């Protein structure tokens, strides 16, 4: 059975995307820790990140770096935190979170629900920053 992330990638469920290529996608978390919380997900449905092939791993982290630079520009945090927890969905995903301190990475503080317009506004800030940085992913809203 396909994971929720595969269903988002394939357009069966809505997602607010900021990046899409043949290897991975990035979309806004629907339970963000902070505004701008983005998930970078390989298209291949692999549960544990250590099981990704080396090329996919390298690409996933390169895209995560690029998007983190855009998050940094768009939200001006102290840092952009990166976390791979992977316990809630059995599909590798990198959390990119604009943070002021380590407490901003506590999933107990995740939003229970967010207005889709807020997710789209955050995504637009990231897309604009990606463009300013010269990044040209195939991106946009899906679903």
The CATH number corresponding to 4-113+120-132 among 3.30.428.10, 3.40.50.150, 3.40.50.2300, 3.20.20.70 equals 3.30.428.10
Radius of gyration of the chain, Cα coordinates, nearest whole angstrom: 14
Alpha-helical regions (H) of 21-100: 54-75
- The predicted structure's pLDDT at residue 134: 94
What's the pLDDT tens digit per position in 54-112?
A: 999 999 999 999 999 999 999 999 999 999 998 899 999 999 999 999 999 999 999 99
CA distance 90 to 2: 10
Q: Where are the domains of the chain?
A: 4-113+120-132
Share of the chain above pLDDT 70, in %: 96
3-class SS at 39?
strand
Length of the chain: 143
11 vs 14: CA distance, rounded Å = 6
What confidence score (pLDDT) does residue 86 get? Answer: 86
Give pTM, 2 decimals.
0.94
Looking up tokens 């935190």 gives 81
Please determine, for residue 21, whether its predicted confidence score (pLDDT) is greater than 50: yes
């Amino acid at each position: 059975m396909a994971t929720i992330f595969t269903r988002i990638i394939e357009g069966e469920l809505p997602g607010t995307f900021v990046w899409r290529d043949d290897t991975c996608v990035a979309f806004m978390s629907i339970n963000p820790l902070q505004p701008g919380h983005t998930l970078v997900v390989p298209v291949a449905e692999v549960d544990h990140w250590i099981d990704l092939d080396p090329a996919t791993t390298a690409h996933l982290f390169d895209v995560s770096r690029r998007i983190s630079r855009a998050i940094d520009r768009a939200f001006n945090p102290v840092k952009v935190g990166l976390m791979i927890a992977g316990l809630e969905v059995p599909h590798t995903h990198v959390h990119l979170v604009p943070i002021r301190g380590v407490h901003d990475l506590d999933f107990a503080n995740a939003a229970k629900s967010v207005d889709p317009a807020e997710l789209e506004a955050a995504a637009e800030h990231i897309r604009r920053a990606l463009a300013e940085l010269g990044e040209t992913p195939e991106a946009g809203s899906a679903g």
